[in-house]
Structure 1
Amino acid sequence: MSDYSGLPGLSESAPNSADEAWLTAIAQAAAGDAQAPLELLVEYLTLLADAAISGRGPREHELAIVRELGRRAAEQGIPAGRVVDLYLSAAWRMWRDLPDVVPYRDRDTVRASAQAVLRAVGEAIAVLVDSYQVATKQLIRQEESLRRELVDDLLRGDADVSRMVERAEPFGLDLGRSHQVVLAAPADGLPDSDTTAGMLERFILDQFGDREVLVATKEGLLVMLLPATAPTRAPRTTIKDVGELVHDALIRQRPGRTWRVASGRAYPGSYGIARSYEEAREALMLAERLQLDTPVVAARDMLVYRVLIRDQAAIVDLIQAVLGPLTQARGGAEPLLQTLEAYFATGEVATEAARRLNMSVRTVTYRLDKVKSLTGHDPGDPAQRFTLHIAVLGARLLEWPVRDLPTGADAHA
């Protein structure tokens, strides 16, 4: 007899006619063929041998062991197909050799034995696969929970850096390297059941490889943590800004939905990730307030607007002094502000501004003249244009005139 320590309990429960060495050889051959651990056959060969010899069905404690083996296979990351292949391989090997071990007396006995074995195989594999799937779903939920917690702590800038490094390692993140955060905001919100995050992660992994990448959702946004390197699997001639790559993928996979994508700058370390996230989030906010037409914004391109909004008291004074008189116009300040925005955005070309606003050139020039008469600042004068433009940008950042301008301590916050 050979040592059957790899399949504990088999020699005690196997029928006398099912030689231990024979079952050991079957288990080893099946495990080698399927490239799966021998231990996953514990109890399975016993119930098959008993089914072939006595015709009995699997007992509950045997199926319970198989159920536990399915869970163990999932936790070890063994593919489900390989585990099923292991069980089928063991079954046909045992059935092939069975006549040499058990002398069947007649055809009816063989038929009954075959039916019993097939039933046993079916029950065992059904239990195995069901347990494997349940365990896999549990593992996925656990990983998603750990991923969300890690992303939240990284974006918040958790102070326990050593612990953060340890938690990030299983996800392939080297926090000593530089990373950047990219945010994607759908115009219509992101439902909890939306599958866009999974789609986007597959795309990003294809572009950047399977390391240094995390994709998650947070507060209705898609959050992407990426290495500060160019995509390794894109042709050098077609490399785009990462924000453009993400936006293109979203439009391609979710046609009909409007997205705005913002990217922070890359920084090293765990605190760098939090800084990049804050930049990307601020870029999204600024782009929305400024009503920018571009769907992709980068933090580096929004620095001038950050300067404006940081000195809020000065911007409030500028808006009140320069644009305050526009409230005296019939219809209020908003139509004149829209005209100034379009005029500056089109390079001070009245015909282009009229096309953008879907109105006549005459209306545009009339409104520009109205601005000049009310404020004393001529939009066509280069010396005065800059002051007007900065005031308009500040008004949009503070959402004036829809909202009242901050006063007192609020203006200095």
Structure 2
Amino acid sequence: MPAAKSALSGATTMLSNDHTLAKLRESIGTLSTATTRQLDAALPWYRRLDAAERSALGLLAQNGIASFVSYYQKPSSPGWVLTDVFGNAPTELTSSISLQKALQLIRIVVQVVEDRVPELAAPGDEAPLREAVLRYAREVAFAAADVYARAAESRGAWDTRLESLIVDAILRGENTDALRSRIAALGWKSKEKFTVMVGASPAEAGQGFVNELRRTASRYAEDALVGIQGDRLIVVLGGVNDQESAYLRISELFGPGPVVYGPEAPSLVEASGSARAAFAGLAAVRAWPQAPRPASANDLWPERVMNGDDDARRSLVRHVYRPLLTASNGLVETLSAYLSLGHSLEATARELFVHANTVRYRLRKVTDLTGWDPLLPREAFVLQTALAVGRLASSARN
């Protein structure tokens, strides 16, 4: 038979030698012991494993040697690698060690057998036995890669499902042990700075898009959850570093239309408040045609109030109206006069019988207290809305 034809025929034409086969069967225990010693000597990470993990990998190595004997006897046996070598181990194996470490283990198993070819092979059978070892090593390596690929696919599908459940629970405001357990199972690391972004999803939001979104988010945040509900895209961010850059860059991956992000939440299970504010802002943002993309839900307080959002109304009273009222020093009266008199410092000074510099000083105090500058038209609108809802709240209590 020509050499090329022999090489192509491969394992299907390889015949086992009965004497070599018997020697291999007798040496399974010896080879297993030698493999275990070599693993301990050559692999530092193997020595650091606990007793249960070492025992499981030792059994895997023993299975590999026993399976080689079967392979040598009948190379074309179907499915021998997955069933004989790995058995029920894929889940345990892939969770304990990486693919790189698994291949290191397989390399040592094969090396131990190959080093003993001269003493295991019958006279004249050294070359065929060495060839069988090499073919076996190739098959096991491919099988290991297949095991890890399948495990990764299973984990990916489970993680996607788990991620969807967590996003849905956050939107519903769920705060249970089950949610905390799911968050832990997903490997969430962030402890602070949680924000929810909402907007339209792209026309084709497949797995490739989700992966790109996660990669982008990972540059600006420690963790990210992605949820697609119909035509809506929800992104939950944890541990955001540079907020301005993060929100702007991530918003570019949303579909057409406005994108709104909620205020920071102290924990992931409390991120429902951020989500609620973001969705309320998304529903009201049409009333502000010049709104930036992305827009802060807090910047949309006036539009949200007009759209019937009680959270926005309470926030304006708590964060704007009451601090001004508590500060006294004529801040509410000065702000009210300034807004009602066409934003004129001189007219406000005449109305209150004070100097214009006093008006300027009080307006600066308003900015310091609330974070909103009455000299800027948009922020003056927020302040004017706060005065209105604050007075209504006061009259309701009276």
The TM-score normalised by the length of structure 1 is 0.58
In the alignment, which of 184, 193, 204 is matched to residue 206 of structure 2?
193
Deviation digits for residues 16-52 of structure 1 (CA, Å, limit 9, x no counterpart)? 542523332224424764546333324211222455x
Deviations 1:160-213 (A, max 9, x none): 523322222223458985622122435xx3424252322222232333335xx4
Give me the TM-score of the superposition, normalised by structure 2.
0.60
8 Å Cα contact 2:32-2:61 kept in structure 1: no
Superposed displacement of residue 299, structure 1: 0.8
The answer on 1:82 being equivalent to 2:101 is: yes
Q: Decide which of 49, 65, 80 is 1:45's aligned counterpart.
A: 65
Deviations 1:308-341 (A, max 9, x none): 22299xxxxxxxxxxxxxxxxxxxxxxxxxxxxx
Change (3 A) 1:297 1:83: same
SS in 1 for 2:219: helix
CA drift of 1:112 comes to: 1.4
2:232 matches 1:216: no
Q: Which amino acid aligns with 1:224?
A: V
Counterpart pick for 1:21 among 19, 30, 34: 30
Q: Could you tell me how far apart the structure 2 residues matched to 1:127 and 1:75 are?
A: 13
What does residue 220 of structure 2 align with? 207
Q: CA deviation at 1:69?
A: 5.4
Distance 1:43 1:49 in 2: 10
Residues 32 and 168 of structure 1: CA distance in aligned 2, closer, same or farther (over 3 Å): farther
For residue 140 of structure 1, what is the aligned residue in structure 2? Answer: 156
Q: Verify the 8 A CA contact 1:180 1:264 in the aligned structure 2.
A: yes
Contact 2:285/2:303 (<8 A) preserved: no
Distance 1:190 1:32, change over 3 A: farther
Contact 1:157/1:270, CA 8 A, preserved across alignment: no
Structure 2 vs 1, CA of residues 157 and 81 (structure 1 numbering), >3 Å: closer, same or farther?
A: same
Where do 5+ consecutive residues of structure 1 fail to align?
1-12, 232-238, 313-384, 394-413
Residue 248 of structure 1 is matched in structure 2 by 249
1:91-126: CA deviation from partner (whole Å, max 9, x where unpaired): 123202332x325412xx122112222333333333
String of CA shifts for 1:334-355, please: whole Å, max 9, x gaps: xxxxxxxxxxxxxxxxxxxxxx
Alpha-carbon deviations, 1:274-323, whole Å to 9, x = none?
121111112222224543352210011000111222299xxxxxxxxxxx
Match of 1:124 in 2: 140
- Matched residue of 2:157: which SS? helix
State yes or no: 1:162 paired with 2:177: yes
> 2:259 & 2:137 partners in 1: Cα distance?
53
1:261 corresponds to: 259
Q: Distance in 2 between matches of 1:32 and 1:69?
A: 27
Q: What residue in structure 2 maps to residue 57 of structure 1?
A: 75
SS in structure 1 of the partner of residue 59 of structure 2: helix
Aligned 8 A contact 2:259 2:294 in 1: yes
CA contact (8 A) 2:217 2:250 kept: no
Distance 2:221 2:193 in 1: 14
Q: Which residue of 1 aligns with 2:371?
A: none
Cα 1:144/1:85, change in 2 over 3 Å: same
Q: Distance in 1 between matches of 2:59 and 2:247?
A: 45
Q: How many Å separate the matches in 2 of 1:240 and 1:81? A: 37
In the alignment, what sits opposite 1:105?
Answer: 123
The percent identity for this pair of structures is 15
User: Aligned partners of 1:284, 1:205: CA distance in 2, in Å?
Assistant: 24
Alpha carbons 1:178, 1:268 under 8 Å: kept: yes
Q: Residue 249 and residue 269 in structure 1: after superposition, are their counterparts in 2 closer, same or farther (change >3 A)?
A: closer
Letter in 1 for 2:169: D
State the shift of 1:219 in Å.
Answer: 3.1
- In 1: Cα distance, 2:158 partner to 2:64 partner: 29
Deviates more, 1:89-98 or 1:168-177: 168-177
**Secondary structure at 1:207's aligned position in 2?**
coil
Structure 2: distance between partners of 1:28 and 1:61: 29
Pairwise CA distance, 1:65 = 3.1
CA distance in 1 between counterparts of 2:309 and 2:152 reads 53
CA distance in 1, matches of 2:139, 2:39: 19
Moved more, 74-83 or 85-94: 74-83
8 Å contact from structure 2 (residues 192, 267) kept in 1: yes
User: Which structure carries more helix by proportion?
Assistant: 2
Q: Distance in 2 between matches of 1:114 and 1:130?
A: 25
Q: Do the aligned partners of residues 230 and 56 (structure 1) sit closer, same or farther apart at CA in structure 2, a change above 3 Å counting?
A: closer
2:85 counterpart (66, 69, 85): 66
The one-letter code sitting in structure 2 at the alignment partner of 1:196 is: F
Contact 2:198 2:234 in 1 (8 A): yes
Structure 2 residue ranges without an equivalent (≥5):
1-21, 47-56, 311-376, 386-398
Contact 1:73 1:83 in 2 (8 A): no
Asked if structure 2 preserves the Cα contact closer than 8 Å seen for 1:151 and 1:216, the reply is yes
Q: 2:352 maps to which residue?
A: none
